[in-house]
Amino acid sequence: MPTGIIGFDVVTGGILRGAINEIYGPASSGKTTFLHALVANACANGEFCSLVDASDSFDPASASFAGTDLSRLLWVRCSGPEQAIRSADLLVHSGGWGVIILDLTDVRPETLRKIPLSYWYRFKRAVENTPAAFIVLTREPQAKNCAAMSLELPPARPVWSGAHRDFQLLRGLDIRVTPRKPVRSETAEFRAKALA
Protein backbone atom coordinates (compact mmCIF):
# COMPACT_ATOMS: atom_id res chain seq x y z
CA MET A 1 0.00 0.00 0.00
CA PRO A 2 1.58 3.33 -1.00
CA THR A 3 1.89 5.95 1.72
CA GLY A 4 1.95 8.97 -0.57
CA ILE A 5 5.49 9.79 0.60
CA ILE A 6 7.42 9.28 -2.63
CA GLY A 7 10.86 8.82 -1.06
CA PHE A 8 9.55 6.15 1.29
CA ASP A 9 7.47 4.34 -1.33
CA VAL A 10 10.43 4.18 -3.75
CA VAL A 11 12.72 2.64 -1.12
CA THR A 12 10.28 0.19 0.50
CA GLY A 13 7.41 -0.23 -1.93
CA GLY A 14 4.98 1.05 0.70
CA ILE A 15 3.32 -0.46 3.77
CA LEU A 16 2.53 -4.19 3.74
CA ARG A 17 -1.06 -5.40 3.58
CA GLY A 18 -2.08 -8.50 5.52
CA ALA A 19 0.69 -7.92 8.05
CA ILE A 20 1.79 -5.98 11.11
CA ASN A 21 3.83 -2.89 10.26
CA GLU A 22 5.61 -1.38 13.25
CA ILE A 23 6.73 2.26 13.16
CA TYR A 24 8.76 3.38 16.13
CA GLY A 25 10.86 6.30 17.29
CA PRO A 26 11.13 8.98 19.96
CA ALA A 27 9.05 12.14 20.20
CA SER A 28 9.65 14.57 17.31
CA SER A 29 10.80 11.82 14.97
CA GLY A 30 8.04 12.32 12.38
CA LYS A 31 5.69 9.46 13.31
CA THR A 32 2.63 11.74 13.33
CA THR A 33 3.60 13.28 9.98
CA PHE A 34 4.07 9.78 8.56
CA LEU A 35 0.70 8.72 10.01
CA HIS A 36 -1.12 11.73 8.52
CA ALA A 37 0.36 11.13 5.07
CA LEU A 38 -0.51 7.43 5.14
CA VAL A 39 -4.11 7.92 6.29
CA ALA A 40 -4.73 10.82 3.89
CA ASN A 41 -3.42 8.74 0.97
CA ALA A 42 -5.45 5.67 1.98
CA CYS A 43 -8.65 7.71 2.33
CA ALA A 44 -8.02 9.39 -1.03
CA ASN A 45 -7.79 5.91 -2.58
CA GLY A 46 -11.19 4.90 -1.17
CA GLU A 47 -9.98 2.97 1.88
CA PHE A 48 -11.67 3.06 5.27
CA CYS A 49 -9.23 3.57 8.14
CA SER A 50 -9.45 3.12 11.89
CA LEU A 51 -7.20 4.69 14.48
CA VAL A 52 -7.10 3.24 18.00
CA ASP A 53 -5.72 6.04 20.15
CA ALA A 54 -4.46 4.68 23.49
CA SER A 55 -3.88 8.08 25.07
CA ASP A 56 -6.44 10.32 23.36
CA SER A 57 -3.74 12.36 21.62
CA PHE A 58 -4.95 12.34 18.00
CA ASP A 59 -5.82 15.76 16.55
CA PRO A 60 -8.52 15.44 13.88
CA ALA A 61 -8.07 19.07 12.77
CA SER A 62 -4.41 18.41 11.91
CA ALA A 63 -5.34 15.20 10.10
CA SER A 64 -8.00 17.00 8.09
CA PHE A 65 -5.56 19.80 7.26
CA ALA A 66 -3.11 17.12 6.03
CA GLY A 67 -5.76 15.84 3.62
CA THR A 68 -7.53 13.08 5.56
CA ASP A 69 -11.18 12.55 4.68
CA LEU A 70 -12.52 12.27 8.23
CA SER A 71 -15.72 10.63 6.97
CA ARG A 72 -13.53 7.59 6.12
CA LEU A 73 -11.74 7.49 9.49
CA LEU A 74 -12.97 5.82 12.67
CA TRP A 75 -11.24 7.34 15.69
CA VAL A 76 -11.39 5.11 18.78
CA ARG A 77 -10.46 7.15 21.85
CA CYS A 78 -9.16 4.95 24.67
CA SER A 79 -8.22 5.49 28.28
CA GLY A 80 -5.14 3.28 28.31
CA PRO A 81 -3.28 0.44 26.62
CA GLU A 82 -5.58 -2.36 27.82
CA GLN A 83 -8.65 -0.75 26.28
CA ALA A 84 -6.66 0.06 23.13
CA ILE A 85 -5.50 -3.55 22.70
CA ARG A 86 -9.07 -4.86 23.11
CA SER A 87 -10.42 -2.26 20.67
CA ALA A 88 -7.77 -3.08 18.06
CA ASP A 89 -8.54 -6.77 18.48
CA LEU A 90 -12.23 -6.15 17.70
CA LEU A 91 -11.39 -4.06 14.64
CA VAL A 92 -8.87 -6.55 13.22
CA HIS A 93 -11.38 -9.38 13.56
CA SER A 94 -14.30 -7.36 12.16
CA GLY A 95 -12.83 -6.92 8.66
CA GLY A 96 -13.60 -4.25 6.09
CA TRP A 97 -10.70 -1.94 6.94
CA GLY A 98 -7.94 -0.80 4.61
CA VAL A 99 -5.78 0.51 7.44
CA ILE A 100 -5.95 -0.22 11.17
CA ILE A 101 -3.62 1.85 13.35
CA LEU A 102 -2.85 1.09 16.98
CA ASP A 103 -1.23 4.24 18.39
CA LEU A 104 0.68 3.41 21.57
CA THR A 105 3.18 6.27 21.20
CA ASP A 106 2.33 8.07 24.44
CA VAL A 107 2.20 4.90 26.56
CA ARG A 108 5.28 4.30 28.69
CA PRO A 109 7.53 1.59 27.19
CA GLU A 110 7.71 -0.31 30.51
CA THR A 111 3.90 -0.55 30.47
CA LEU A 112 3.91 -1.86 26.89
CA ARG A 113 6.49 -4.52 27.75
CA LYS A 114 3.84 -6.11 29.99
CA ILE A 115 1.58 -6.84 27.00
CA PRO A 116 1.70 -10.62 26.49
CA LEU A 117 3.40 -11.75 23.28
CA SER A 118 0.28 -13.81 22.54
CA TYR A 119 -1.59 -10.59 21.64
CA TRP A 120 0.88 -9.79 18.87
CA TYR A 121 0.57 -13.33 17.49
CA ARG A 122 -3.23 -12.97 17.66
CA PHE A 123 -3.05 -9.74 15.64
CA LYS A 124 -0.65 -11.35 13.16
CA ARG A 125 -2.97 -14.31 12.55
CA ALA A 126 -6.08 -12.11 12.32
CA VAL A 127 -4.65 -9.74 9.70
CA GLU A 128 -3.02 -12.44 7.53
CA ASN A 129 -4.70 -12.99 4.18
CA THR A 130 -6.72 -9.78 4.49
CA PRO A 131 -6.35 -6.55 2.50
CA ALA A 132 -5.81 -4.58 5.72
CA ALA A 133 -2.53 -2.99 6.77
CA PHE A 134 -2.15 -3.20 10.56
CA ILE A 135 0.14 -0.44 11.86
CA VAL A 136 1.55 -0.13 15.38
CA LEU A 137 3.05 3.22 16.46
CA THR A 138 5.36 3.10 19.48
CA ARG A 139 8.50 4.66 20.91
CA GLU A 140 10.40 1.38 20.77
CA PRO A 141 9.73 -2.00 19.06
CA GLN A 142 7.00 -4.07 20.70
CA ALA A 143 5.63 -6.55 18.14
CA LYS A 144 9.11 -8.04 17.56
CA ASN A 145 8.93 -11.19 15.39
CA CYS A 146 5.23 -10.70 14.69
CA ALA A 147 5.92 -7.57 12.61
CA ALA A 148 6.54 -8.20 8.92
CA MET A 149 7.81 -4.63 8.51
CA SER A 150 9.61 -2.61 11.17
CA LEU A 151 10.54 1.02 10.54
CA GLU A 152 12.72 3.15 12.81
CA LEU A 153 12.46 6.94 12.81
CA PRO A 154 15.27 8.75 14.65
CA PRO A 155 14.70 12.32 15.90
CA ALA A 156 13.83 14.59 12.97
CA ARG A 157 16.15 17.47 12.09
CA PRO A 158 14.48 20.91 12.12
CA VAL A 159 14.91 23.15 9.08
CA TRP A 160 15.16 26.86 9.93
CA SER A 161 15.17 29.99 7.79
CA GLY A 162 16.27 33.54 8.47
CA ALA A 163 19.60 35.17 9.22
CA HIS A 164 18.67 36.88 12.48
CA ARG A 165 20.78 35.56 15.33
CA ASP A 166 17.99 35.73 17.96
CA PHE A 167 15.17 34.07 16.10
CA GLN A 168 14.47 32.04 13.00
CA LEU A 169 11.37 30.53 11.43
CA LEU A 170 10.76 26.80 11.46
CA ARG A 171 10.31 25.78 7.82
CA GLY A 172 9.93 22.05 8.33
CA LEU A 173 11.51 18.82 9.50
CA ASP A 174 13.84 16.47 7.69
CA ILE A 175 12.58 12.98 8.51
CA ARG A 176 14.51 9.77 7.99
CA VAL A 177 12.96 6.29 7.91
CA THR A 178 15.25 3.28 8.35
CA PRO A 179 13.73 -0.10 7.43
CA ARG A 180 14.83 -2.58 10.14
CA LYS A 181 12.67 -5.43 8.90
CA PRO A 182 12.99 -6.47 6.18
CA VAL A 183 16.54 -5.17 6.36
CA ARG A 184 17.48 -2.71 3.63
CA SER A 185 20.69 -0.77 3.29
CA GLU A 186 18.87 2.27 1.93
CA THR A 187 16.98 4.74 4.13
CA ALA A 188 14.10 6.92 3.03
CA GLU A 189 14.21 10.65 3.64
CA PHE A 190 11.55 13.31 3.19
CA ARG A 191 10.80 16.81 4.38
CA ALA A 192 7.66 17.80 6.23
CA LYS A 193 7.05 21.45 5.45
CA ALA A 194 5.65 23.86 8.02
CA LEU A 195 2.70 25.81 6.68
CA ALA A 196 2.57 29.54 7.17
Whole-prediction pTM: 0.90
Q: Tell me the C-alpha distance between 112 and 106, whole Å.
A: 10
Q: Please work out, in degrees rounded to the nearest 5, the angle formed at the alpha carbon of residue 125 by the alpha carbons of 106 and 95.
A: 80
pLDDT in tens, the chain (196 residues): 999 888 888 888 899 999 999 999 998 898 988 999 999 999 999 999 999 999 988 999 999 998 999 999 999 999 889 999 999 999 999 989 999 999 999 999 899 988 888 999 999 999 998 999 999 999 999 998 999 999 999 999 888 888 887 888 888 888 988 889 887 768 888 888 876 5
Answer yes or no: is 154 within a domain.
yes
CA dist 95 and 79 (Å) reads 24
Q: Tally the domains of the chain.
A: 1
Residue 196 lies in a domain: no
69 inside domain: yes
Per DSSP, helices labelled H in 24-106 are 31-44, 60-65, 81-94
In a domain, 194, yes or no: no
Distance of CA 73 to the CA centre of its chain: 14
C-alpha closest to that of 25 among 191, 176, 187, 135: 176
Which domain range does residue 78 map to? 6-185
Domain with 28 in it: what CATH number?
A: 3.40.50.300
Residue 1 counted as domain residue: no
